[in-house]
Amino acid sequence: MLYKRTEYFRYTFGKPLEAEFRIVVENGTDVESSPGECHLIDISPGGAKLFTKFDIPLERESVRLHIKFTLYEKLIDLQGVIVWKKPYSGGYMYGYDFEEDVAIEQLIVEELKLRRRSEIDSVSATTED
């Protein structure tokens, strides 16, 4: 079996993670929309699946989003493009690919490690009581 280095692991949240998004208007001005609320369903160092009640139109060739969220302690602030859209439970699920940035990829991996360690420690603490 061949190993593809560009394939990422995917972390699925037990409870979707709150995030904020803005649509980036690509007309040379980098103007952004008002903020909207979304929830991250899962994440990898290269992208995420998110849910929002907003119907983001995908008629144009690509829609860029600016997203901010905190996995554990540090604010992660990045941009990327929507790659797919599906109606889901009173809103929409979107596939979102991040712009390639090694520093952001490393930050996501480190923050996920800390988050997971914290989750395991909290479960261990409650089972010991």
Dump pLDDT digits (tens) for 55-98: 998 876 678 999 999 999 999 999 999 999 999 999 999 999 99
List, in order, residues 6 or more apart from 75 with CB less than 8 Å away: 68, 69
Does residue 30 come out as left (phi exceeding 0), alpha (psi in the -120 to 50 range) or beta?
A: left
What is the greatest pairwise CA distance in the chain?
Answer: 58
Are 53 and 38 in contact, with CB atoms under 8 Å apart? no
Half-sphere exposure of 52 (CA within 13 A, CB side): 24
- Mean of pLDDT over the chain: 88
pLDDT at 108: 95
Residue 1 reports pLDDT greater than 50? no
CB atoms within 10 A of CB 50: 24
pTM, two decimal places: 0.83
